[in-house]
Structure 1
Amino acid sequence: MTPRTGPAAGSTLAFVESPVQLLNVLEWAHTATPRAAQERTDSVAPPSVRTRHEAAAGPAGEPAHQTPGAYAPVPLTPGALTLVVLSPTDPMTRGQLRRMAELARNEGYQVRWEEARGGPAAPFQTIGGLTPLLRAARRIVIGDPFSRYVQLLLTITRARHLVVVDDGTATMEFISQLARGERLVRWHRRGGRPGARDIVFAPVSASARRRLTPGRRRTVEVFSSMPIEAAPDGVRITANDFGWTRSRFGPPRITKGADLVGTSLVETGVVDPDRYLEAVTSLARTHGATRYFAHRRESSDKLHRLAVETGLEVVRPDLPLELIARRGPIGRTILSFPSTVVHTLPLALAGTEVKVAVCDIDPAWLTDHASPRAQGFLSGVTGTARDVHRLSAVTAV
């Protein structure tokens, strides 16, 4: 475990709870360090990637939504970033986080692993141990503004600079809710009545939302590969072009076949499991897919059934898919349902011959418990994806 050392002056604390969040902190740090400006000719996005971000970036990569004089980016000085992993209990996620933590240490960053959910007393011990760092940090980077853990930590910090890095497609919903002044609720939970825990936690959530709103003494930056057309006044949007990933990995060896990317829409109660299995089977047969890259939240029972009934080789990646694909080998076609990867994979694989194809979610696949907003949100994820081939919803086999 990392020694409990205090942060240096002008330090940056980053809180992550998933491998993708940690990856995107590394991407952000790659662009925020002074050396990134010197190496810009090496890490600048290819033309196809820059076109991908025309809505989010201005000439020469200058971010949009920036009022002159309203935001002064603070460079990330070497050794000033500490990554705090608020470890979940899921073994798959923990394994990927361990691997990502190794990569972060190799980049020269300090990593502090917190067993934040290791028992009833763990949250109190974690928060108590982090309080001095939170109060001393100049800048806070977070990967999930919807996390209650993160929201609670935000009420402690005095940092004047806040950065939100991508936690997948949830970033799009966060920006929308922040702009409308709404309470922060994950998209697949919207439409339901708040539970008892939601009501008790409401003051903390409201406080976190205020801290994530830019003001005279606070700056807010969103570092994202998602298509963000508009942002609240004062929020700086910086485009993530996966320059760190492309500079460290690949280019990959490309195979002739197709690979299929799994989703946790069944586990979140949005899509019916039988309909999902039918769709995967049809996609695999139509496009000749042989491998199925499982989402880290997919259940073992579902994956076992999928392997038996479809004949697909189920692969549990030990790193985020963007890194797996960039390392290779990877299929010439990557098939996906609406998810974050339809936005990120074209960026990570820019300059290669890999094609990303996304399959729409048929409304008939949705469960009775799915949020009323589910179909519209998923359609928006697909419709806003660029550099991908769009497939119609597949029919049952």
Structure 2
Amino acid sequence: MIKNWFKNIGPGPLVAAAFIGPGTVTVCTLAGVHFAYVLLWTMVLSIIATIVLQEMSARLGIISQKGLAEIIRTEITNPIFKAFAILLILSAIVVGNAAYEAGNISGGVLGLETVFGNPYVEIGTINFNPLSVIIGLFAFVLLYIGNYKILERVLVSLVILMSLAFLITAIITKPDVSEIFKGIVLPKFPKDSILVIIGLIGTTVVPYNLFLHASLVKEKWQHPEDLKFARKDTIIAVVLGGLVSMCIIISAASIQSEGISNAADLAKGLEPLFGNFAKYFLAIGLFAAGITSAITAPLAAAYVATGCLGWESNMKSKKFRAVWMIILLLGVVFSSLGIKSIEIIKFAQVTNGILLPLIAGFLIWVMNKQSVLGNNKNNVKQNIFGFIILGISIILSLATMHKVLGLNIF
């Protein structure tokens, strides 16, 4: 039974690996430190929304045997709207992932530094971190091999490692189970929690994952009969990813300190209370979260760029490799030199905030097209869930613009 389950694992764990990056770890840490278990319900909502959208994305990829970017290029016929959509997608995913990649690599580095210390090397007037290069080289080799099965196995292993690390950390803190249950089933909005709620949803329901899933799923499955495997794969992986996020919140809730602002601080804060073991497990989890996102972000950018521009979406093609190489190189340089491109990250946040409702809306529209999906188009129940999530994504988009640009929307 276990052997068959592993045989039928698809790109679901890669999707989970993509949304549990250092940003997610940081937001979940802040949620736990400042609000204990109260915002766990937000993760339940995020998990449901992610499953609904990722299932649509996977179904589209299997039935059409095309990526989401390719579908957008072919199905939008109005030239002005098509140009706007492609420009927005390229800006949000390609430029955005280049900005976030430094954070992904830095997250993996933080995990290593928690255990091994700070290995910065001075070259003239420049402080240089060799750990960023090591993580970058690991990601480079894995992506350059261009073999989906190898990529899948490595990322599944890292996701399992990350899941166990955060789960064990949460158990070590001996949480109050009744309070956890209340936090899951009773939605509450404590004072000053709205931005954290937005962050928890925004780091789980990720636009680039919709593109990544539709492109990767056709590497694994090619027939409508495989839809049942894809659905099971998606549900298990997203629920597992959501539980990892919950474990981080639960771990952080054990420390009520204003000095905790990221996962590295959380690791240090856990040490005096629960010993070295807690610190090491958390460091392993942070390292795995960083390195998995450092691999999936360039991969998603490459699929988006090649799909939007009509290039060959083959992991071994020169143009495909050129895109992820540029993203990875920028991430390594920015991370190793400690450069924080705040303005680029703000731009990426805004474009991703605008992109999510547009992509969710397009996805629901195309999922109702008989010409694209035949009998596998959305049913009434799927459309109801889809439109509810579309409404949430619009609110999230407005809130993101309010947060980043300071626009007086609310």
TM-score, normalised with respect to structure 2: 0.30
More helix by share: 2
More strand by share: 1
TM-score, normalised with respect to structure 1: 0.31
